Structure 1
Amino acid sequence: MRNAFLYILILLTATVACKEETPQPINGGAKAPGKVSNVTAERLPGKVLLKYDIPSDPQLLYVKAVYETRPGNQMETISTFYQPRMTLEGFGDTTEREVKLYAVSRSETASEAVTIKVKPGTPPVQSVLASLDFTGDFGGITARFLNPDSANIAIGVVTRDAKNDVLQADMHYTNQAEGEFSVRGFDATERWFGLYVRDRWQNYSDTVWKLLTPLYEQQLDKSRFRALKLATDAATFGSGPIPNLWNDVVTGGSTSNKTWFRSANGSGIPHWITFDMGVTAKLSRFLEIPRGAFDETNLLYSAGDPQLFEIWGSTNYSPDGSFSGWTKLMDCEVTKPSGLPVGVNSNEDITRAQEGHQFKLPPGLPPVRYIRIKSVQTFGNADYFWMAELTFFGEIQ
C-alpha cells in the first residue's frame, strides 16, 4: 500500500514538472508598439513600393498595410521587422488611394495607423492593352503585344454573333515580354473582334474592337496524304513511320507505335523526309505538334525535338532525291516561350507544345503537292528528329 502511494506521488510530481516546462505565451506584448515613420512611396507598374523606419520595440513582429485595389476590394500586405519595406500589388489603374500602415507586436497588438496616399504606376492591364495590335489572318486573327514588365496576364478575345451578342472566343495566358498569337476557326466573312487584358487580381482593361475579315483557308484532308521514300531520304525508326505524322494520334507515349514519327539514329545533319499531300494547294500555314506534348513531357524541347528545320515544296520532284524542282517554303524555328534552358520547361512551354507550333508561310509562294521536311538542328543536337503531328492549311488549286 505504501509503495502504491509513493508511485502516485511520483506521477503527480512528474506531471507538475511537465506543466512548469510547457512554453507559455509571450508576455508583455499587450502594449501597442510605436508607429512606423518616414514613409516613402515609389510608383511601379500596377504596384507601390513602400519604405519606412520601424519603431525600436523588441516586441515588434511585423508591419501591415491595409488598402483597396478598387472600391470594396480590400487587401492586406505584411512585412517582417527584418525588412523595412513592402510592395503593394493588385492595382488595376493609377487612381490615388489611401493606405493605412500598422506596426504589430508579437501578441498581435497593432499600433495606431499611419495613413498615406499612394498612386500606382500604369498597370500591365493598361500598358499591354495600349500595345495590342491585331489584324485579319487565315481563318481568324493574329494579335501582337508588348508586356515589358513580364506580368502574368491573360488576353481575352471576343467576337459577336448574328444577334450582336458578345461571345468568348479565346483566352491567351502569358508572362512574356512580347509575343503574338492567333485565333482561328472563323469563316472568311466580316465580323467584329475584340481584345481585352486581365490580370491575376481580376482587374480588367477596356475592350478594343475591330471589324475584320479573316482570310480564306481550309484544312487539307489528311486521308489523302501518302509517304514517299526518295533516294536521299533518311531512314525511319522502326516504330515511328512517316504516316504517324497525319493520323491525328498525339498521345500514347513510347508504348505506342502510332503516336509519333522518328527518323533513324545516325541519319546525320541535315537530313530529310518526303511525303505527298494528295492535292496541289497554295499553303497558308501549318501546325506541328511535337512528340511528348501530352505525355512524356520530359522529351519536349530536348533530344530529337526539332529546333531548326526547313519546309520545301514541289509539284514535280526529281526521282533521284535531289532538291532539283523543289522550292524552299520556309525556314522554321521553334522557340520556347519561357526561354528556359534545355531540360527545364514552364507550364507555358508545355501549353504551347499542346496547342502546336504555328508556322505561317509567307505570301507569294507557288502551289505545291509534295512536301519535304529538312531537319537542321534539334534541341538535343541529335542526328535524328521526331514529331507527333502535322496539319496543313491553304487553298486547293
Structure 2
Amino acid sequence: MKFNIHLVVLALGIIVFAGCSQDQNQPISNDGIAPGKIIEAVVTNIPGGAIIKYTPPSDEDLLYIEAKYRLKNGNEFKVRSSVYSDTLVVKGFGDTDTYNVDIYSVDRSENVSEPLKVEVAPLTPPIENIFKTINMRKTFGGVNITWENEDSDPIAVILSASTKEEGPDGPLEVIETFYSDAPSGKQSVRGFDTDAYRFRARIRDRWGNFSAYKDVVINPYFESKLDKGLFKEVILPGDVKQTEPWNPNGGSSIPRLWDENTDSRLVGFNGDMPDNYTYTFDLGVLASLSRMKFWQFTQGDGYYLYFDAQYRKFEIWGASELNVSGGWEGWTLLKDYEVVKPSGLPEGLGSYTNEDKEIAFAGHDIEFGLDIPKVRYIRIKVKSTFSGLDWGSCGEMTFWGDIN
C-alpha cells in the first residue's frame, strides 16, 4: 500500500512540475488592458543618436518603456528603460537625416500601449569624424594607415588594394580589416613591390553603418627581409650579458633574438637603466634598413605582456664598422622607441585588451627614417621596463631593408 501511495505522490509531483514548466515564461496575470501612452517627450540630439526624456503614464503595473527604430541599412533596434527612469538613448544613426522613433509603455502583463511617435535628427555620427582623420601614406613594402577615434567607438577599418596584374585602375580586393576601439590607430600592410597600387579605406561601425571611401595611389618603397642566418652575437666592453632566464651564470641568450620564437627570450640581469644597459649583434651584411619588428616575450599566452621586465623604452643604434672599444664613436641613433599599449589601460599583470594582445603578438612595427646611413651592427640600449625593473627581457627582433 505504501508503494502505491508513493507512486501517486510522485505522479502528482510530475504533473505539478510539468504545469509550472509550461507557464514559467508567461506573465503571472494578464488583464488584457494596455497601459497609458507616453505623455510627452523632449529630444536632445547627440552625435549619431538622441537622448529622449519622457513623461511616463501613471499605470501602477507599468514595467518598462521601449523605443523602436530602424536605420537606413534596414537594421531594427529596440532600447528599453526601467520604470524608475525617464530617459531613453537611441544610437547607431549613420548620418544627420531625420528618423522616426516609436516609444511604447509596457506593463507587467506585457500589454503594450499605443506608440508616441517622435523625430530625431542626430548630429554628425562618430564614424564620419573618424573617417575625416584617416591618413594613408606609402611605406616600405606597402601602405601605412592612421586614424583618430577620440570616443573609442568600436569600429572596423576595411582596407582594399588593386592587384599587380590589373594596376591601380583595376578592381580592388579587401586585403585587411582592422578592429579597434582604441583612441587612435596605426597599422601597416606589407608584401607589395614598387609598382603603383591603389589603396582604399572605409570605416564600419558596430551598427552596420559605412563611411565613404578614401583612396590613395602610391608606389611602395622597396624592402626585403634580412637573412637571420647571418646574424651573430657581438660582445663589447660595457655590454650587459644576456643570459638564460633565471640563470645569470648560464650561456648567452642573444641568439634567441632571431630564433623565430617569441616564447623564448633573452634576459639581462646586471644592467643600469637608463644609462648603461646595452647589448650588440651583427646583421652579417651592410644594409639600408627600412624597419624592424620587435616582439615582447609571449610566454604563457602573453601572461606578462606590457608588464614586468618587458622593454618599455629603448634605443636602436647602428654602425657600418665595429668600434671594439665599447665607446659610442661611429654609432648612429636609428630610432628612439617606446612600446605603447593602445588601450591606455593602467599598468598591471593581465591589464590589456584583446586588441593590445593582438598587436603585441603581431609585433611592434618600428620604421626607420629614409636618411639613415647603411649599417651592419646593431646596438640596443634599454632605458626602462614596464614595471620599472633594472633588468630587461624581450622575445624577438626582425629587420628589413635593402642590401644592394
Following the alignment from structure 1 to structure 2, what is the Cα–Cα distance between the partners of residues 57 and 266? 74
Counterpart for residue 356 of structure 1:
363
Q: Is the 8 A contact 1:29 1:59 kept in 2?
A: no
| Structure 1 match to 2:204 | 198
Is 1:144 matched up with 2:146?
Answer: yes
- Distance apart, 1:275 and its partner CA: 0.1
Query: How far has the Cα of 1:94 moved from its partner?
Result: 2.1
Unaligned runs of 5+ in 2: 246-251
* Residue identity matched to 2:41: V
SS at match of 1:250: coil
Q: Structure 1 CA distance, aligned partners of 2:365 and 2:314?
A: 13
- Please state how far the C-alpha of 1:260 moved relative to its aligned partner: 1.7
3-state SS of 2:78 partner: strand
Matched, 1:328 2:359: no
Task: Determine the structure 1 residue equivalent to 2:381.
Answer: 374
The alignment status of 1:243 with 2:255, answered yes or no, reads yes
1:337-378 per-residue CA deviation (whole Å, 9 max, x = no partner) reads: 011111211111101101111111123111111000011000
1:124 is displaced (CA, Å) by 2.4
**Map of 1:176-325 to 2, 5 A cutoff?**
176-239=182-245, 241-251=253-263, 259-263=264-268, 265-270=269-274, 271-292=277-298, 295-325=300-330
- One-letter amino acid of the structure 2 residue matched with residue 267 of structure 1: G
Contact 1:317 1:324 in 2 (8 A): no
Task: Tell me which moved more, 104-113 or 213-222.
Answer: 213-222
Q: Deviations over 1:83-128 (max 9, x none)?
A: 2112112222222111110000011100111011112222222221
Partner SS, residue 193 of structure 1: strand
Return 101-110 or 162-171, whichever deviates more.
162-171
Q: Tell me by how many angstroms 1:71 deviates.
A: 5.0
Taking the aligned partners of 2:255 and 2:85, their CA distance within structure 1 comes to 61
Between the aligned partners of 2:30 and 2:293, the Cα distance in structure 1 is 68
Secondary structure in 1 matching 2:358: helix
Partner AA of 1:380 in structure 2: S
- Alpha-carbon spacing, 1:105–1:315, altered in 2? closer, same or farther (3 Å): same
The aligned amino acid for 1:215 is Y
Where does residue 254 of structure 1 map in the other structure?
none
**TM-score, structure 1 length as denominator?**
0.89
Measured against aligned partners, the alpha-carbon deviations of 1:36-72 in whole angstroms (never above 9, x if no partner) come to 1221222222222211111112211111111101253
Distance (Å, rounded) in 2 between the aligned partners of 1:233 and 1:54? 73
**C-alpha distance in structure 2 between counterparts of 1:137 and 1:266, whole Å:** 38
Q: Which amino acid aligns with 1:119?
A: A
Which secondary structure does the structure 2 equivalent of 1:320 belong to? coil
Deviations 1:180-214 (A, max 9, x none): 22221111111111000011222212221111111
Q: Mark the runs of 5 or more structure 1 residues left unpaired by the alignment.
A: 252-258
Number of aligned residue pairs: 380
Per-residue CA shift, 1:165-188, capped at 9, x if unaligned?
A: 221111122112223222211111
Residues 244/4 of structure 1: CA separation in 2 closer, same or farther (3 Å cut): closer
Instruction: Provide the C-alpha distance between the structure 2 equivalents of 1:37 and 1:149, rounded to a whole number of angstroms.
Output: 34
Q: CA deviation at 1:25?
A: 5.0
Cα distance in 2 for partners of 1:394, 1:217 equals 5
Cα gap change, 1:58 to 1:330, in 2 (>3 Å): same
What TM-score does the superposition give when structure 2 sets the normalisation length? 0.88
Q: Does the CA-based 8 Å contact 1:155-1:171 persist in structure 2?
A: yes
User: In structure 1, how many angstroms separate the alpha carbons of the residues matched to 2:344 and 2:151?
Assistant: 16
The one of 132, 135, 142 equivalent to 1:133 is: 135
Q: Relative to structure 1, is the Cα distance of residues 71 and 242 closer, same or farther in structure 2, using a 3 angstrom cutoff? A: closer
Q: What is the SS of the residue equivalent to 1:30?
A: coil
- 2:174: which partner in 1? 168
Letter aligned with residue 64 of structure 1 = E
